[in-house]
Amino acid sequence: MSRAGGPAWVIGLDDPAAADAAVVGGKGAGLHRLVALGARVPAGFVVTTEAFRAALGDRTGDLERPLRALRPDAAIDEVERAAAAVRARLLETAAAGPVLDAVRAAHDRLAGDAVRVAVRSSAVGEDAVGASYAGEHDTYLEIRGAEAVADAVCRCWASLYTARAVSYRGHAGVGTAGAMAVVVQEMVPARAAGVFMTLNPANGDRSTVVCEAVWGLGEPLVSGAVTPDRFVLDKISGEVLRREVVAKPRRLVRSSDGAASGPTEVPVPPDARERPCLDDAELAELLAVARRVERAAGVPQDGEFAVAEPGGPEHVHLLQTRPETVWSARAPRAATAGPGTRSALSAVLATLTRGAATPVASPTPTPAPHEGKPDHGG
Amino acid sequence: MAADRFPSPFDIETPPGAEGWESMYDWYHLFGPERRELDEGRFWFADRLHHPDVLHPYDEIQCECWWQALGAFNTRIFAMPPSFGVDQRIVNGRLYVTPVAAPAEQIAARAEEFGRRAGHYYERWDAIYAEWKEKVTAKLEEIRGLRFDPLPELEPESTVYEHVGHSAGFRMIRDFDRLVLTMYETYQYHFELLNIGYAAYLTFFAMCRQAFPDISDQSISRMVGGLRVELYRPDDELKRLAKEAQRLGLAGRLGGTEDAATLFAALRSDTAGAEWVADWERTADPWFLINTDPGHPGGYHTYPTWADEPEIPLASVREYLRRLEAGESIDRPTDEVLSERDRITAGYRELLADEERATFDETLALARQVFAYIEEHVLYIEHWMWATFWAKSKELSRALAAMGEFDEPEDMFFLRRYEVAEAIYDCVAGWSVGSRPRGADHWRPIITRRREIYEALRAWEPPPALGPPPTQIDEPFTVMLWGITTSTVSEWLRADGDAGTLRGTAGSPGVVEGPVRVVTHPSELTEVQPGEVLVCPATSPSWAPVFARVAATISDVGGIMSHTAIVCREYGMPSVVGTGNAVATLRTGQRVRVDGSEGVVTVLAPADAEPDGAGRSGSP
């Protein structure tokens, strides 16, 4: 269902064409890399940038006219009104035509009505090192049914023109909106979910993977609304170096009724509240896959994961990963006090003259304020 | 106990019945009014690692040996930059120690000296260590060659015909001096390599912690350890004997419970059995010259060696044989430990900045070199030398008792070494003249009283520390050897804290639950059941076979480099070391959770019945 000779409108995450971020956006390309690494990711497809262009025909220029009319120093409410006008035009334009038929068909092939999906914007240029579009575009969870999915895809396209995104592009100097891909993935019925980082953001220790997790869906953790369990894992030895388990009285779960009401918050059963929400086998699996992703990327990564019911290492799914940006820009922590102490003997002397048994003060510069926990992507 | 300090050593009361205990120890080993101002300002901790129990007057020699030798090597010979020696005092028969820091203004100059002096050793480590083994082995042969027999009625004719020119009495005086001096000399060698070795080892630790603040001690230890060091040889010999017994078809005959003498007599009745017993006897020298103290091996004269009590190694052989017969492997997974060591090392190394890898490699190589010494010296000094020293001391005590200087041999150990020299002179003078020494009549009231004092002192529970604690404990040797850290001391000060939780050093990672088995004497090791959690003052290599049975180990003393921690890591079993008071607190049968990753022991359920074998053992 695409223009002859051009890229497909809808492709699977495992499709080699999904390696091209110009076609599937940053998020889509990232997920394709995970699939290619053999990581477990929720099944899904990408509505490509080609589909976006086909749905809007040649009218992108027209659509953006209200924005082009804005003065550079336009007030926020003016930007908001112009952006809303663009979104309305876009939804109207995109609602008809064969592209959304292709999306509906892909949805039916993926799941049918039985499964709920997440629909996420995947903009071209996002998730690149140095420029994070975190949270600038929309994500729709718990979507059920082909119609609802087609509608969510349109709204993702429209989110290219939220006031937030428009301002961000202006601020980041990215200019015009370009094209938007959309990722549609099965929702993992998460028993637990969280985030990880392949170094310790508190001290830059690259021998660790730090992981935070909660019972249920991960959104409350990602948005910073709850205190998660925290685990520090040693990449090399596999040990769980620290295990900070907190009381987790409530969790977010997918609603039991129907499509539209979204996730709901429910109490955690009393016997599970104080229990770690990840067991050693799940942590070991997460560690292994995090290391694989980091190794392939060549730089420290952070990411999101979910453990599907009923739990266990074979149910650990990666939802997304991306380069860590704060510590990655620095050299690894120094093991010695510098070039003058690079013989074993001078290292011995350095140890004996500064009190070896106490933790040695960090010789690396203090990082930018960073809360000692993984940076939650959007 | 005040919350911020431990009792002053000058406020410690003598336990009832122990009045006059001071006469049992040398005056320079006691707190005295001349040093009060100095000593009251210092932080002293009970050295339960080396001396967990009351010292016999004669055994004070053991403390003196390391007091002087450690001090001289740190302070005067290598100029260890931050550390002088470790000072000692005896209070109520227990040894308290305090590390003496070098004055801050001297550290830079000392570092320069240390660089040259220790550097000389580091560059030539393996060659110097080879020389060292020869020196120590020669000393061992020297004291093995000493003989203490009752003096003869008439000197042998050879004294005349070979123009010896001196008497057996003189030789007894001379040889006792030689015995003591040779032991002292060997202890010099002990510290010739030990602390500079530890310094290199600590440096590798510090380097890893600096690059990887989250890294566990166990990961660092694993990068250094896993070598096939001689320390494991005695246990390996027991395994070999078990395999030999199986090969010779003796498994059934060894499966009983009869004592070693009965068993060996029965085995000697046929070829296969006799072959095995002969193998055992060849193996016993030197590999069963193993002390069984629950703390530092060789610290007391009272503990037997494997050779003295063949039931101890025999129980291990029987256990290994049982496991062999059940189809289990009894070999330590040395190859796995080594390949895991290499994997871990490569993993961390890869994460370092390129320009630091060479330093990492060089420091690790040095740490591995010194580590062989750190482990093996225990066999040469703590086992072979001390076992021989105590055996020769007992030989002397038997000779003196036979000559009427004492009522019984054990009496000699209630005398200080200077007093023993006096007793020998008294005895030799009487013998030489053909007269009557003052002998046992003189010593009897003194020794009788000291035996009472000794018992009274054993009933005293020594405080873990004395005096004002420093705000931070960072003297590297204190932390690594004794496992005493700032938080340990805070824990001691909170002695009335949560009775359900014990904290110590995370010695070996993992979490298990199981019933407690308190063991304070090696004779109790045979009671240990599979899956139990061993609770002990400390362990020594002679306890090795028990590690195959237990699920976890908790010790009162020791740091991450203690024997307990090293062996548990080898066996992949959780351990919490340096808890301070697990033996006094936990009871056999209690269910506990041992978290060897965090260094925490949690009591889950009390022992159902009255504890058997709980608390301090009655047998020294």
**pLDDT, position B72:** 97
Q: What is the mean pLDDT of residues B422-426?
A: 98
Question: How many contiguous H segments (helices) and E segments (strands) does chain A have?
Answer: 12, 13
Nearest chain A residue to B510 by CA: give it.
A239
Greater model confidence, A66 or A150: A150
Q: How long, in residues, is chain A?
A: 378
A340 and chain B: CB distance < 8 Å anywhere? Answer: no
Torsions phi, psi of A318, nearest 5? -90, 135
Torsions phi, psi of B364, nearest 5? -65, -45
**pLDDT, position A254:** 79
pLDDT band at A2 (very low <50, low <70, confident <90, very high): very low
Q: What percent of chain B has pLDDT over 70?
A: 94
Res A55 pLDDT > 90: no
Res A136 pLDDT > 80: no
Domain ranges (residues) in chain A: 10-186, 190-323
- Rounded to whole angstroms, the Cα distance separating B119 from B125 reads 9
Of the candidates B499, B431, B446, B399, which has an alpha carbon nearest to the alpha carbon of residue B150?
A: B399
The strand order across the sheet containing B465-466 reads B83-91, B94-101, B44-46, B465-466
Residue type, A60: T
Q: How far is B321 from chain A (nearest CA, A)?
A: 33
**pLDDT, position A359:** 34
pLDDT band at A6 (very low <50, low <70, confident <90, very high): low
Three-point CA angle B79, B80, B84, nearest 5°: 90
| B466 within a domain of the structure (yes/no) | no
- Tens digit of each residue's pLDDT (9 = 90 or more) over B298-319: 889 998 898 998 988 898 899 8
Beta-carbon-side half-sphere exposure of residue B45 (alpha carbons within 13 Å): 26
Taking an 8 Å cut-off on Cβ atoms, the answer to whether B211 and A341 are in contact is no
Q: How far is A370 from chain B (nearest CA, A)?
A: 17
What ranges in A95-144 are assigned the alpha helix state H? 98-110
- Rounded to whole angstroms, the Cα distance separating B197 from B118 reads 9
Give the burial string for B471-497 (b: 16+ CB within 10 Å, else e): eebbbbbbbbbbbbbbebbebbbeeee
**pLDDT, position B347:** 95
pLDDT band at B200 (very low <50, low <70, confident <90, very high): very high
Q: What DSSP character marks residue B356?
A: G
Q: What DSSP character marks residue B150?
A: P
Indicate the residue of A205, A335, A359 with minimum beta-carbon distance to B207. Answer: A335
**pLDDT, position B269:** 94
Question: How high is the ipTM of this complex?
Answer: 0.77
Res A135 pLDDT > 80: no
Q: What is the mean pLDDT of residues B237-265?
A: 93
A232 to chain B: which residues are within 8 Å by CB? 214
Strand residues in B264-364 grouped as ranges (E): none
Residue B298 structure tokens: 């060789």
Q: In CATH, what is the architecture of A10-186?
A: 2-Layer Sandwich (3.30)
**pLDDT, position A123:** 84
Least confident piece of the model among B69-78, B199-208, B574-583 = B574-583
| B100 within a domain of the structure (yes/no) | no
Q: Which domain holds residue B443?
A: 125-228+359-456
Q: What is the mean pLDDT of residues B287-306?
A: 86
Nearest chain A residue to B478 by CA: give it.
A357
How far, rounded to the nearest angstrom, does the alpha carbon of residue B199 sit from its chain's CA centroid? 20
- Judgement on whether residues B317 and B367 belong to the same structural domain of the protein: no
Number of domains in chain B: 3
With tokens 């170096």, the residue in question is A241
Greater model confidence, B12 or B336: B12
Least confident piece of the model among B348-362, B363-377, B579-593 = B579-593
- Judgement on whether residues B253 and B185 belong to the same structural domain of the protein: no
The last residue of a domain, from among B398, B429, B456: B456
**pLDDT, position B148:** 98
pLDDT band at A170 (very low <50, low <70, confident <90, very high): low
The neighbour count for residue B407, using CB atoms within 10 Å, is 15
B563 with B229: CB under 8 angstroms? no
| B489 within a domain of the structure (yes/no) | no
Residue type, B499: A
- Judgement on whether residues B242 and B305 belong to the same structural domain of the protein: yes
Burial of A175 (0-12, 13-18, 19+ CB in 10 A): exposed
List beta partners, residue B577.
B505
pLDDT band at A130 (very low <50, low <70, confident <90, very high): very low
B493 with B506: CB under 8 angstroms? no
Q: Taking all residues of chain A, what is their mean pLDDT, rounded to a whole number?
A: 80
B217 with B599: CB under 8 angstroms? no
User: Which of A205, A237, A279, A354 should be substituted to probe chain B, the one whose Cβ sees the most B Cβ atoms within 10 Å?
Assistant: A237
Q: How far is A38 from chain B (nearest CA, A)?
A: 22
pLDDT band at B561 (very low <50, low <70, confident <90, very high): low
pLDDT band at A369 (very low <50, low <70, confident <90, very high): very low
Provide the Cα torsion A197, A198, A203, A207; round to 10°.
Answer: 150
Q: Which helix (H) or strand (E) holds B94?
A: strand B94-101
Greater model confidence, B615 or B9: B9
Residue B389 structure tokens: 């020293």
Residue A132 structure tokens: 């994070």
The neighbour count for residue B570, using CB atoms within 10 Å, is 19
Greater model confidence, A11 or A142: A11
Res A212 pLDDT > 90: yes
Q: Which long-range contacts (CB under 8 A, 24 or more apart) does A61-69 make?
A: A62/A89, A63/A89, A63/A90, A63/A93, A63/A161, A64/A161, A64/A176, A64/A177, A67/A161, A67/A166
Q: In CATH, what is the architecture of A190-323?
A: 2-Layer Sandwich (3.30)
Taking an 8 Å cut-off on Cβ atoms, the answer to whether A334 and B211 are in contact is yes
- Tens digit of each residue's pLDDT (9 = 90 or more) over B429-484: 999 999 999 999 999 999 999 999 999 999 898 898 999 988 877 777 777 777 78
Q: Which of residues 557-576 of B touch A (CB under 8 A)?
A: none
Res B510 pLDDT > 50: yes
Taking an 8 Å cut-off on Cβ atoms, the answer to whether A239 and B216 are in contact is yes
- Rounded to whole angstroms, the Cα distance separating B569 from B218 reads 8
**pLDDT, position A60:** 64
pLDDT band at A176 (very low <50, low <70, confident <90, very high): low
Least confident piece of the model among A54-68, A182-196, B154-168 = A54-68
Taking an 8 Å cut-off on Cβ atoms, the answer to whether A355 and B108 are in contact is no
**pLDDT, position B552:** 93
- Rounded to whole angstroms, the Cα distance separating B48 from B463 reads 11
Q: How long, in residues, is chain B?
A: 620
- Judgement on whether residues B437 and B363 belong to the same structural domain of the protein: yes
Burial of B598 (0-12, 13-18, 19+ CB in 10 A): middle
Indicate the residue of A234, A342, A343 with minimum beta-carbon distance to B215. Answer: A234
How far, rounded to the nearest angstrom, does the alpha carbon of residue A272 sit from its chain's CA centroid? 27
Q: What is the mean pLDDT of residues A112-139?
A: 66
Q: How far is A138 from chain B (nearest CA, A)?
A: 37
B84 to chain A: which residues are within 8 Å by CB? none
Torsions phi, psi of B53, nearest 5? -125, 180
Q: Which helix (H) or strand (E) holds A86?
A: helix A76-94
A321 with A32: CB under 8 angstroms? no
Least confident piece of the model among A328-342, B253-267, B303-317, B369-383 = A328-342
Torsions phi, psi of B63, nearest 5? -65, -45
- Rounded to whole angstroms, the Cα distance separating A9 from A184 reads 13
B200 and chain A: CB distance < 8 Å anywhere? Answer: yes
pTM, 2 dp: 0.79
Torsions phi, psi of B326, nearest 5? -80, 5
Greater model confidence, B444 or B564: B444
Reduced to 3 states (helix: H, G, I; strand: E, B; else coil), residue A294 is helix
Indicate the residue of A234, A242, A332 with minimum beta-carbon distance to B352. Answer: A332
Taking an 8 Å cut-off on Cβ atoms, the answer to whether B199 and A348 are in contact is yes
DSSP characters for B553-570?
A: EEESS--TTSHHHHHHHH
- Rounded to whole angstroms, the Cα distance separating A208 from A332 reads 13
Strand residues in chain A grouped as ranges (E): 10-12, 44-47, 117-123, 139-143, 180-186, 190-197, 208-215, 229-234, 240-244, 250-253, 264-267, 301-308, 316-323
Q: How far is A346 from chain B (nearest CA, A)?
A: 8
A331 and chain B: CB distance < 8 Å anywhere? Answer: yes
